[in-house]
């Protein structure tokens, strides 16, 4: 069996060990894109503990499916990802009360690790967390340096994995929370001065494990995992008992997708025919109503475009007050050729239009203003002035 001990990220090198009859026969480190000698097929992947969360699910459940559903509530509010983007895995019961270990990991992160294994033509049949599988004796805790991270394991009492620079600051408070349940602290690759105790809490007895190879320990532990340990590769420990072909889920999914697709096509076709008939009825009624409202339209070629044009035409007058006053002003200028329009101004949103007229003859200008007053009741006439030798008057006409 080939065991991969992951680095801190999918881009960092993978440590690997090959076991036969419980003995490590070969080991090495493979960078990304570098092949592992003889790699191919199944393997076991050991991830850093900080890639997931591990908790005890106290709620008794009858099956793995029920346990995974309960795990979603156990981790609710404690994850950075949504429930749909999180994979929950549970192990078998660890005691008579039915408590189980439950793990939660972000699906995108797990996919990144699986893609990393696929580059070496490997498919993990089991994925465990390093701090969860490190073997621990009762009443003991282990602090092990693995590369740039430190693994802290206390068996059923819990554990964690963290960057080595941050580990010393957390070990003291963590031991204090255990309330003296740890009597021996095993150190591997960690100096005693890195273990700081919290005020008022005595450190347990320190045991120095010499010559410990973390890769060997994790590799051996991962191949002898009891079913109580959550398997992140399968979603639950009991999924590993399913001896069906690995293609069976995909074939079932494909069959269901095909059936759903055919059903949807039939429903869509039926709805489409109904929609076409309904659209024809609505269009015919709309054309009748449009012809009644606009009898000058001779032919309807594009009902939507023609209705839009009619609406825009109706709105144009209100949006452009100048168009309202133009007919009466034009008629007045035609009737009084000695009067000329010198200026026209409209300041939106004011509906009134300001016009300045002038004439060489004041009487003619008065007659022109009187003509405008007859055509529009909303007119305000300003005082007559002399500008450049011509009589000039400014009036304000309101749009109807």
According to the model, what pLDDT value does residue 165 have?
85
What's the domain range around 356? 320-398
pLDDT at 246 over 60: no
The confidence score (pLDDT) of residue 315 equals: 58
Q: b vs e for 38-71, b when ≥16 Cβ sit within 10 Å of the residue's Cβ?
A: ebeeebbbbbbbebbbbeebebebeebeebbebb
Burial class of 30 by CB neighbour count within 10 A (0 to 12, 13 to 18, 19+) = middle
Residues 265 and 130 in one domain: no
| 164 & 18 share domain | yes
- Mean pLDDT for 343-372 is 87
338-355: pLDDT as tens digits: 999 888 888 877 778 888
Q: Would you state the structure tokens that stand for residue 76, as one six-digit string?
A: 């609710």
pLDDT at 149 exceeding the cut of 50? yes
Task: Report whether pLDDT(236) > 60.
Answer: no
What pLDDT shows up at residue 393? Answer: 93
**Nearest by Cα to 235 from 358, 105, 370, 137:** 105
Decide if pLDDT at 210 tops 80: yes
Q: 168 and 235, same structural domain?
A: yes
Residues 215 and 333 in one domain: no
* pLDDT, position 248: 54
If asked whether residues 164 and 297 sit together in one domain, one would say no
What pLDDT score was predicted for residue 241?
42
Tokens standing for residue 59: 């709620």
Q: Which pLDDT tens digit goes with each residue over 150-180?
A: 999 988 777 889 888 888 888 888 888 888 8
Length of the chain as a residue count: 400
Query: Closest Cα to residue 154, out of 127, 228, 171?
Result: 171
- Residue 313 clears pLDDT 90, i.e. is over it: no
Final residue in a domain of this structure, among 262, 295, 315: 315
User: Which of 315, 344, 373 is a domain's end point?
Assistant: 315
Overall domain count for the chain: 3
Q: Are residues 150 and 127 in the same domain?
A: yes
Pair (222, 367) in one structural domain: no
Q: Is the pLDDT of residue 196 over 90?
A: no
From residue 158, how far is each of 133, 142, 183, 212, 357 by CA, in Å? 11, 11, 15, 21, 95
pLDDT band for position 238 (cuts 50, 70, 90): very low
Are 231 and 266 part of one and the same domain? Answer: no
Q: Provide the token pair at 35.
A: 């092949």
Q: What percent of the chain has pLDDT over 70?
A: 86
Q: Which residues share a beta bridge with 359? A: 391
* Residues facing 47 on adjacent strands: 129
Q: Based on the domain organization, do 8 and 136 belong to the same domain? A: yes
Residues 309 and 328 in one domain: no
99 and 163 in one domain? yes
Choose the final residue of a domain: 243, 261, 283: 243
pLDDT at 318: 54
pLDDT greater at residue 263 or residue 379:
379
Average pLDDT over residues 363-382: 85
CATH code at position 159:
3.30.420.380
List, for residues 26-68, the tens digit of each pLDDT value: 999 998 888 888 887 889 999 998 888 888 888 777 777 777 8
Mean pLDDT of the 261-289 span = 73
* Poorest-pLDDT segment among 106-110, 192-196, 256-260, 363-367: 256-260
As a whole number of angstroms, the distance between CA 7 and CA 45 comes to: 11
Query: In the structure encoding, which two tokens stand for residue 10, read together?
Result: 């999918």
Residue 132 pLDDT: 87
Q: Residue 380 sits in a domain of what CATH number?
A: 3.30.1360.100
The pLDDT of residue 247: 55
Residue 217's pLDDT band (boundaries 50, 70, 90)? very high
* Rounded Cα–Cα distance for residues 393 and 380 (Å): 11
Percent of the chain clearing pLDDT 90 (strictly above): 20
With cut-offs at 50, 70 and 90, classify the pLDDT of residue 113: very high
Average pLDDT score over the chain = 81
* 254 and 118 in a common domain: no
């Amino acid at each position: 069996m080939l065991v991969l001990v992951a680095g801190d990220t999918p881009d960092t090198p993978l440590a690997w060990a090959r076991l036969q009859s419980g003995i490590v026969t070969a080991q090495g480190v493979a960078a990304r894109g570098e092949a592992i000698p003889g790699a191919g097929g199944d393997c076991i992947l050991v991830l850093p503990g900080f890639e997931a969360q591990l908790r005890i699910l106290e709620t008794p459940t009858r099956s793995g499916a029920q346990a995974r559903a309960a795990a979603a509530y156990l981790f609710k509010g404690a994850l950075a990802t949504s429930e749909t983007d999180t994979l929950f895995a549970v192990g078998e019961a660890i005691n008579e009360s039915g408590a189980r270990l439950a793990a939660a990991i972000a699906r995108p992160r797990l996919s990144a690790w699986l893609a990393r294994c696929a580059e070496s033509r490997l498919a993990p049949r089991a994925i465990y967390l390093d701090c969860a599988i490190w073997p621990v004796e009762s009443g003991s805790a282990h602090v092990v340096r693995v590369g740039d991270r430190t693994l802290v394991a206390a068996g059923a009492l819990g554990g964690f994995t963290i960057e080595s620079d941050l580990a010393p600051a957390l070990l003291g408070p963590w031991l204090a929370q255990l309330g003296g349940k740890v009597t021996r602290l095993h150190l591997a690759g960690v100096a005693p001065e890195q273990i700081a105790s919290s005020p008022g809490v005595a450190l347990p007895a320190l045991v120095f494990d010499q010559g410990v190879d973390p890769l060997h320990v994790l590799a051996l532990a991962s191949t002898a995992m009891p079913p109580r340990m959550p398997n992140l590769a399968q979603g639950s420990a009991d999924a590993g008992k399913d001896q069906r072909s690995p293609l069976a889920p995909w074939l079932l999914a494909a069959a269901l997708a095909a059936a759903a697709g055919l059903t949807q096509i039939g429903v869509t076709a039926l709805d489409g025919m109904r929609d076409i008939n309904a659209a024809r009825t609505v269009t015919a009624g709309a054309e009748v109503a449009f012809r009644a409202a606009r009898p000058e339209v001779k032919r309807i070629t594009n009902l939507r475009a023609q209705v839009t044009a009619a609406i825009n035409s109706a709105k144009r007058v209100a949006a452009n007050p100048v168009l309202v006053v133009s007919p009466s002003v034009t008629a007045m200028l035609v009737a009084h050729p000695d009067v000329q329009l010198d200026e026209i101004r409209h300041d939106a949103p004011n509906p009134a239009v300001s016009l300045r007229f002038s004439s060489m003859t004041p009487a003619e200008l008065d007659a022109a203003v009187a003509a405008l007053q007859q055509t529009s009741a909303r007119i305000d006439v300003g005082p007559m002035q002399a500008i450049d030798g011509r009589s000039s008057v400014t009036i304000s006409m309101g749009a109807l």
